[in-house]
A and B are shown apart, each in its own frame.
Chain A
Amino acid sequence: MILRRVLSVSTHWLALAGLIVGISLASVRAEVQAPDELVKKLAAEMTQAVRNDPELQNPNSVKISDFVQKNIVPRFDFDRITQIAMGRNWAKATQSEQKQIASEFGKLLTRTYSNAISTLKDLDVEVKTTRVTTPNVDVTVKTQMIGRAQPVTIDYGLINSPAGWKVYDVTVEGISLVAAYRDEFNGLVSSSGVQGVIDALKKKNGG
């Protein structure tokens, strides 16, 4: 009888412990998704969605911008992208200017990605290799877009954060878009200061 009670209590505790471990593991699994798996999942979601929905193939539709806002934007680290694009000019901006630049630049990039994603109809993305810059912190996932005459190489730089891996650089055929923006920002800062960058971004965003 005593044995049975002990057994009963201990199995209860064991089951409870199992439940807690199970739940916590499930959530860890959702968060610590390997970067190459993340890129693979994102790419598959994008290409499938665009293929199945003609409205997403129109770069100016509200739907594509909603789609990008919901599925792509949370996976990008716009603060870091902005910081890289601003380079040494980042330190010249006040905190509120930094905030404005990151927000406006995020909008511009979101629109650029919408334009690019809307053309993915006939394409597939293959995840090739992952180059580890710093283990568990900074990696580059190399992919190939196939479906046109020539495969196009697209590499994603990802950084680990409490919210999981986030993209901070995209290069197409080895060419970095962020580097092109850095030259633009540099020119704007030297001609009309940090405010010049904010003004140009706002104007481009139509605000």
Chain B
Amino acid sequence: MKRIAASVLVFLVLMPQIAFATPAKKLKPAIVTAPPVEDNEPAPPNDVLEPLNRATFALNDGIDLVLINPLVTLWNGIMPSFVRTGVGNFFNNLDDVYVGVNHVLQGNGNAAGVDFERVVVNTTVGIGGLFDVGAKMGLHKVDGDFGQTLGVWGFPTGPYLILPLLGPSTFRETAGRSVRVMTDPRSYMDSVPSYSLMGLEYLQTRADTKANEGLIAASSLDRYVFIRNLYLQKRALLVKSGHDKTSSAAN
């Protein structure tokens, strides 16, 4: 009788294990052979100007080393982080106007609505754009620019191009950037405040990306190729998301 009781006890202890451990889908046998790696390699990047680009790339590295890095370190050192965040937010707010215009040009009304809503909220409640109140309300900043708009309109990227000081670009993105500069109110201001504002924005942008630059340097075998790939992936993705949103808005 004791043995029966013991057996029943063992069984009862195991019962929950059995009952709860058997959702049907988890009992499917694991598939042992992984499917072979697919052979869907993208076309090689269009970099006909590679020798020139590598030279500009090296030049930019030199400028970074002697001028930009010390300035960024100084900027990060003397400015408390809330000031840096404020400056970053201020320029992001100006950028949102421009992003919104581009979303309109791409026929993406929903995204443009979010952009302009951000501008209104951040300029008023966020005190001239110093605080990103919009993000806290769930209105997150979306990237967008005229190079993307040209892409959505069907312009090809053209060859990869490294710009002095500004870094990775393509023929299309450079065209987009020129339009941006021409339509930027700062281009029509007196030169001293205009250059100061542009310099400040440049410094802030570089300070924001410094951590990523370190990560890339630590991971890459040929930094030029690594950055080119990441940049082209990012631009292709931006145009694709512009396409997707535009076509879903049209339907």
Contact = CB atoms under 8 A, between A and B. Distances in A.
A111 B218 contact: yes
Interface in B217-251: 218-222, 225-226, 228-230, 233-234, 237
Contacts of A136: 28, 30-31
A134 B85 CA distance: 44
Contact of B11 (A14, A83, A87, A183): A14
A111 B10 CA distance: 48
A32 B11 contact: no
Given A26-B17, A180-B226, A116 B41 contact: no
Contact of B219 (A7, A12, A108): A108
A204 B223 CA distance: 12
Interface stretch (B1-9, B57-65, B193-201): B1-9
B18 interface: yes
Contact of A18 (B10, B31, B45, B233): B10
Given A28-B27, A183-B225, 6 more contacts: A15-B14, A25-B21, A26-B21, A173-B234, A175-B233, A184-B221
Interface in A104-132: 108, 111-112, 115-116, 119
A29 interface: yes
Given A14-B7, A25-B17, A26-B21, A183 B31 contact: no
B44 interface: yes
A44 interface: no
A147 interface: no
B35 A137 contact: yes
A151 B138 CA distance: 10
Contact of B10 (A15, A116, A151): A15
Contact of A159 (B8, B34, B215): B34
A161 interface: yes
Interface residues of A, number: 59
A201 B21 contact: no
A180 B35 CA distance: 23
Contacts of A164: 30
Contacts of B4: 7-8, 11
A187 interface: yes
B135 A32 contact: no
Contacts of B218: 111-112, 115
B229 A179 contact: yes
B80 interface: no
Interface in A14-35: 14-15, 18-19, 21-22, 25-26, 28-29, 31-32, 34
Given A18-B18, A28-B26, A151-B140, A179 B233 contact: yes
A160 to B, nearest CB: 5
B26 A34 contact: yes
A109 to B, nearest CB: 8
Interface in B71-112: 85
A150 interface: yes
B190 interface: no
B67 interface: no
